[in-house]
């Protein structure tokens, strides 16, 4: 999961208070009058549903984690086609996508001095390998890029750089995981260790992607647990020599064949206009990908399956998409946009859930002005629709940046919704071995499904 940050869209949501009040008043009454009964039917059905939860359990326990290029992801693609068909969706199909195939291989990290002890680590996605014998070097510890630059090449060259950066927000902290290796390599570092991007830890490392720059050497990079990062940093700060051996067999295989999976309820009056909803089918190669993002895709499928079961047939098409390769390449979202071609202009909205399946609070909306698209009105109508979710406390609509897989659609002007949850524990097991089905709270997951269902159905039906 990587939240899309789009200041342009956020800025476009600023509007005058008077205009907002007038449009809001009109939208609230009409939408509430027309859709309250259907919204309550969807919510009631979602809160009693077991089918979506059973699908998620199967995905987690029978297929497991699903990194791009892995046999498990291709098993998940095939199974997803079967499940969409079984749920009664129309036009179930796949969009071929060539995905990167990064392989973790064996890996380890060990402190050799001042005490000999293994470190809890996970190689970062897309990292290169160490030599077969590993890399053994002294560690220099920093908490900011400014500290790294202040050390300079004289104190960094030949060393392993540890970024011990406490979690603030994900966008602020994840940059050390994403670009830290190249920043350190530019000063001559031979490897990088990154404190796991999480506010809490039980000695569990968190993986995730890095991106190498073109002009700097590619050096191995791994995440270490919060506790190990603090421990090493404390030692180096006190003047102790800390020496670490890092071994990683990470490498890329040739790009692999994969596919986005989609199915839909065809619109009854405007079938060529589309509300697309979904999440990403791939996950990291640890844990089971339960919250990131099995919960998102199963809630989306469940939402559309509920519409079918209740006989609700919106005017526009509601399309469920399971995108692939969100975690280490985002090629699935780009492939979907290319497949849609000129029809992107007829996408009314795109909704993605990729923030875990905890209790939903509502949506973040990114809506830009364009031909036939008024951000003031879009925001007003979104708030009126979300008001139908007050009974499950999921009615918030705030400015935001959407999600990675729908970013190509948002770049083309499609309004983007990110379904948001409380995220109380999401960062605790994000990209770890602990992202497993037992962390899913059934009633919270069902509320996510209800939130998806109400927003997507009304968006697809509202004139």
Which residues are known to be catalytic? 326
Tell me how far apart the alpha carbons of residues 206 and 438 are, in angstroms, rounded to a whole number: 18
Tell me how far apart the alpha carbons of residues 207 and 209 are, in angstroms, rounded to a whole number: 7
Tell me how far apart the alpha carbons of residues 310 and 460 are, in angstroms, rounded to a whole number: 16
Tell me how far apart the alpha carbons of residues 453 and 306 are, in angstroms, rounded to a whole number: 8
Tell me how far apart the alpha carbons of residues 260 and 275 are, in angstroms, rounded to a whole number: 17
Tell me how far apart the alpha carbons of residues 262 and 437 are, in angstroms, rounded to a whole number: 23
Contacts of 14 (CB under 8 A, 6+ apart): none
What residues form DSSP beta bridges with 421? 360
CA distances for 428 relative to 202, 206, 209, 225, 434, angstroms: 9, 9, 17, 12, 8
CA distances for 211 relative to 175, 181, 221, 297, angstroms: 10, 8, 11, 26
Tell me how far apart the alpha carbons of residues 322 and 94 are, in angstroms, rounded to a whole number: 9
Cis link prior to 77 (omega < 30° from 0)?
A: no
453 closest CA partner among 309, 331, 329: 309
261 closest CA partner among 339, 341, 345: 339
């Amino acid at each position: 999961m990587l939240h899309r940050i789009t200041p342009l869209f956020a800025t476009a949501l600023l509007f005058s208070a008077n205009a907002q009040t007038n449009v809001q008043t009109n939208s609230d009454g009409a939408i509430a009058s027309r859709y309250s009964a259907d919204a309550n039917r969807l919510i009631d059905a979602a809160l009693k549903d077991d089918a979506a939860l059973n699908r998620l359990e199967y995905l987690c326990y029978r297929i497991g984690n699903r990194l791009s290029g892995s046999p498990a992801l291709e098993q998940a693609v095939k199974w997803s086609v079967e499940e969409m068909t079984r749920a009664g969706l129309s036009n179930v199909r796949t969009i071929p996508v060539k995905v990167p195939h990064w392989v973790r291989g064996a890996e380890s990290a060990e402190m050799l001095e001042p005490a000999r002890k293994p470190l809890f680590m996970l190689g970062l996605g897309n990292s290169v390998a160490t030599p077969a014998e590993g890399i053994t070097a002294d560690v220099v510890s920093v908490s900011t890029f400014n500290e790294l630059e202040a050390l300079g090449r004289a104190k960094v060259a030949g060393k392993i750089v540890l970024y011990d950066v406490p979690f603030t927000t994900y966008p602020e902290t994840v940059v050390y995981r994403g670009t830290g290796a190249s920043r350190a390599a530019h000063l001559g570092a031979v490897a990088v260790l990154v404190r796991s991007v999480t506010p809490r830890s039980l000695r569990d490392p968190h993986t995730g992607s890095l991106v190498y720059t073109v002009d700097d050497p590619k050096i191995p990079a791994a995440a270490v647990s919060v506790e190990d990062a603090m421990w090493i940093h404390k030692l180096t700060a006190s003047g102790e020599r800390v020496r670490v051996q890092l071994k990683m067999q990470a490498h890329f295989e040739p790009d692999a064949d994969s596919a986005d999976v989609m199915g839909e309820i065809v619109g009854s009056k405007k079938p060529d206009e589309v509300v697309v909803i979904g999440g990403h089918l791939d996950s990291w190669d640890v844990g089971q990908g339960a919250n990131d993002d099995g919960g998102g895709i199963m809630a989306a499928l469940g939402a559309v399956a509920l519409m079918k079961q209740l006989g609700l047939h919106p005017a526009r098409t509601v399309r469920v998409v399971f995108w692939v390769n969100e975690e280490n390449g985002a090629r699935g979202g780009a492939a979907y946009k290319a497949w849609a071609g000129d029809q992107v202009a007829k996408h009314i909205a795109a909704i993605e859930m990729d923030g875990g399946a905890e209790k939903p609070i509502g949506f973040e909306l990114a809506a830009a002005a364009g031909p036939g698209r008024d951000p003031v009105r879009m925001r007003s109508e979104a708030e009126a629709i979300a008001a139908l979710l007050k009974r499950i406390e999921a009615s918030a609509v705030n400015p935001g940046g959407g999600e990675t897989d729908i970013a190509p659609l948002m770049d083309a002007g499609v309004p983007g919704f990110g379904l948001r949850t409380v995220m109380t524990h999401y960062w605790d097991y994000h990209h770890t071995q602990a992202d497993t089905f037992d962390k899913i709270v059934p009633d919270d997951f069902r509320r996510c499904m209800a939130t998806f269902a109400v927003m997507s159905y009304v968006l697809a039906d509202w004139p």
